[in-house]
Amino acid sequence: MGSILNKNKDIWKPFEFVDDRSYFIRIGPLRLWMERHDEEWFLAYDHQADEMGSTIVSKPSKGFIKKPDSISWHRIVATTDTNRITLFPVMDELPIVVGAEPPLIILPRNEALIFINVPVSIRIAAGTKKQVILFELPSVVLSKTWVGSPVNGELCLSLKTSAVRRKEYLTDKPNRVGCPVLIKNQSAKPLELEKLCVHTENLGIYLGENRLWTNKVVITHLGVNKNSEVRRVKGAPGMEENELQVASPRIPAKDGIFRKSFDLFKILVEN
């Protein structure tokens, strides 16, 4: 395990963990150190500048970075059938709020496909037949924000980067998942979109040839005072060839409609 992983998809492949050896893992800005002694797993991590690549190396190997003394170990007792470790990308528990800069105006009877680059959380699992989740941590620490009224609002994560109109504009980073959102304006007035709340915790994650993707989201806007539909399109989004599902939705959406998503979308439109 001394080679640096050059492709964004390689980081999600299982690898064999050797006892009494130190491992360094990088996924974008996340740096992770792991060791195992007897039945105890030791994990430590921090977040640095937003790096592009990913790597798994064991000591001593080229590219190994020593854990800083200022970072404490997390100590976990877990018995597993093998020493195999698998890293999984998972969506955060909270919805994501993303801006459109400059604001996007969608005229009546028109639609726009936008793409959101969402940082994933990393789930660390050990074992093969019966995997044990050792730890879960965000690849990027996002700030929290309250969206909506004090009574009917919801706690969300704020994404600093804006949505883009072409998938080619998404930054190619191993810790980011592309979320395609199709917005249909079926109202009689132009729809000015400044911010959008997406319940990414209801989305699965798919691994394409080059990057991660979520299900496609379709928002049909019928007017400020009318009901609209926010739904998840089942299956792979079709953004790349050979897209394979690597993570199920953290919270399955009931009847294909995201809970509270339209209420928040409506409030954002009105504001």
Torsion of CA 51, 173, 89, 82, to 10 degrees: -60
**What confidence category does residue 261 fall into, taking pLDDT thresholds of 50, 70 and 90?**
very low
Full-model pTM: 0.87
* Residues above pLDDT 70, as percent of the chain: 89
- CA distances 97 to 61, 107, 136, 156, Å, are 40, 22, 22, 7
pLDDT of 260 higher than 60: no
b/e per residue 13-40 (b: at least 16 CB within 10 A): eebebeeeebbbbbbbbbbbbbbbeeee
Q: Average model confidence (pLDDT) for the chain?
A: 85
Does residue 213 contact residue 245 with C-beta atoms inside 8 Å?
no
pLDDT for residue 30: 95
Q: What is the pLDDT of residue 254?
A: 64
Distances (CA, A) of 28 to 152, 175, 188, 189: 35, 6, 43, 42
Does residue 221 carry a pLDDT above 90? no
pLDDT tens digits for range 91-127: 999 999 988 888 889 999 999 999 999 999 999 999 9
Give the whole-angstrom CA distance, residue 213 versus residue 89: 11
pLDDT band at residue 67 under the 50/70/90 scheme: very high
Tens digit of each residue's pLDDT (9 = 90 or more) over 148-186? 777 777 899 999 888 899 999 998 889 999 999 999 999
Q: How confident is the model at residue 1 (pLDDT cuts 50, 70, 90)?
A: very low
In the chain, where are the structural domains located?
10-88, 90-120+139-270
Residues 33 and 68 sit within 8 Å (Cβ to Cβ): no
What is the percentage of the chain residues whose pLDDT exceeds 90?
52
Residue 227's pLDDT is: 63
Q: Is the pLDDT of residue 42 over 70?
A: yes
pLDDT for residue 263 is more than 70: no
Better-predicted residue by pLDDT, 254 or 267: 254
Q: Are 250 and 93 in contact (CB under 8 A)?
A: yes
